[in-house]
Structure formats: structure tokens, C-alpha cells
Amino acid sequence: MNWDDAVRALGGDPRPTDLGTRYAEPHRRYHDTAHVRQVVRDAVALTAGRDRAIVALAAWAHDVVYDGRPGDDERASAAWARRHLTAAGLQPADIDRIEGLVLATLDHTAPPGDHLAEALLDADLAILSAAPPAYERYRTAVRAEYAHVDDDQWRTGRATVLRSLLAKDPLYRTATARDQWTTQAHHNLRTELATLMS
């Protein structure tokens, strides 16, 4: 579901945005157009009905600002979404909901019982369950986004992230994602961690 179709589904009137330009920024190696399309696709697949438009807009917006400033990027992305969805005439309650979903990516924690946040966050982590060649492309692309970090710092920081992901129980919150993605994701994470430590 593209941005304009999702806006229309919620009763809005799509206006021009810089969405495409932002996701094509040259410093992006992983958090780019291919990533956001995958997140939209998977988030929509994990939802139903009108919720699909809500989660699609949150997915499109979740990394629209990506300057390598964790926390600031997510807040700026949420503000971007609010600004553009307000201009498109969406209902305030829908704008609030979409903004809240984008902000859930700050700490990757879904409020209890929030199926839409669970779907968005699971979709954002779906890459972890990719087949090994695709996972290797992801790993290489993420490393390229952190080219300014030396190898020792990268290994330490990345190992912390991998251990944190492996400690999540469950890693995926929706039943569909748990069933389809957990086994391969754990394999990929453990394999990368072992490679980092060797």
C-alpha cells in the first residue's frame, strides 16, 4: 500500500511529500527505499481492514528522517508524519495514532495489547529472519551506515545489539511473525554474533 492510497483510505487528500527523496538519500545503505517498502509490506500483511492504512502510513514514516541520531530521528520522523498527514486532512485521532506508532520505534516496545504497534515493530525486524545471503547484505549495509565507527567499537556495539535481540522473549510479538520468522532470525543473530567474536 503506497502513501497516497493509505491517505485516501483514511479519508484524506494526498499532497506532495519528499518521502521518495528522503529514502533515496546517499548516506542510507540499509534504511532506504527497499527497507521501507519491506516494512510496509510486512506490517500490512500482519494487520487487517482499516488498520492496514494506519500501519502503512506509520511504516512509511518510521525512518523518513535518518541522520544517525537515535531518538532524535524517530521524533523528527513522527513530526514529519504529523505535518504531512495534517496537510492531507486526516482526522486528528488517526494522526495521533500514526504518530504514536512511529514513536514506538524509539525503544521498539509495543504497549500491552497494541496489535498495530506489534505489527509495525515485527515488520521492522523481519529482516532478521531473511535467508542467509539477504541477511549478509543487511549486515553489510548496516555496517556501511556506521562506517565512521572503528572496527573495535563496531564489534562491541553490534554484539550488544545482537545479544539484546537474542534476549527478547519473544523476539516477535505477533503470532504470525513468531511462527514464521523466529527460528531463522535466531540462527542469523547467533551466526553473526559468533562471527563478531571470532
65-97 pLDDT, tens digit each: 998 888 999 999 999 999 999 999 999 999 999
pLDDT value at residue 66: 95
7 lies in the same domain as 94 = yes
31 lies in the same domain as 111 = yes
Residue 120 has pLDDT above 90, yes or no: yes
Decide: 98 and 61 in contact? Cβ < 8 Å: yes
Residue 102 has pLDDT above 90, yes or no: yes
- Out of 77, 98, 117, a domain closes at 117
pLDDT-based confidence at residue 184 (cuts at 50, 70, 90):
very high
5 lies in the same domain as 95 = yes
Q: In percent, how much of the chain has pLDDT > 70?
A: 100
b/e map of 131-151 (b: 16 or more CB within 10 Å)? eeeebeebbebbeebeeeeee
pLDDT value at residue 68: 80
**Maximum Cα–Cα distance across the chain:** 54
Residue 197 has pLDDT above 90, yes or no: no
103 lies in the same domain as 153 = no
- Rounded to whole angstroms, how far apart are CA atoms 82 and 90? 10
98 lies in the same domain as 143 = no
85 lies in the same domain as 29 = yes
101-110: long-range pairs with CB below 8 Å, 24+: 101/54, 101/55, 101/58, 101/62, 102/58, 102/61, 102/62, 102/74, 102/77, 102/78, 103/74, 103/75, 103/78, 105/62, 105/74, 106/71, 106/74, 106/75, 110/173
Q: Mean pLDDT throughout 104-117?
A: 94
Q: In percent, how much of the chain has pLDDT > 90?
A: 95
Residue 169 has pLDDT above 90, yes or no: yes
Q: Mean pLDDT throughout 114-135?
A: 98
- Out of 117, 141, 163, a domain closes at 117
Mean pLDDT (the chain) is 96
110 lies in the same domain as 153 = no
- Out of 92, 117, 142, a domain closes at 117
98 lies in the same domain as 135 = no
Range of the domain at 172: 125-198
Residue 198 has pLDDT above 90, yes or no: no
How many domains in the chain? 2
23 lies in the same domain as 100 = yes
Q: Mean pLDDT throughout 126-154?
A: 96
131 lies in the same domain as 103 = no
110 lies in the same domain as 130 = no
| Nearest to 6, CA basis, from 49, 56, 80 | 56
Residue 138 has pLDDT above 90, yes or no: yes
14 lies in the same domain as 98 = yes
Decide: 78 and 103 in contact? Cβ < 8 Å: yes
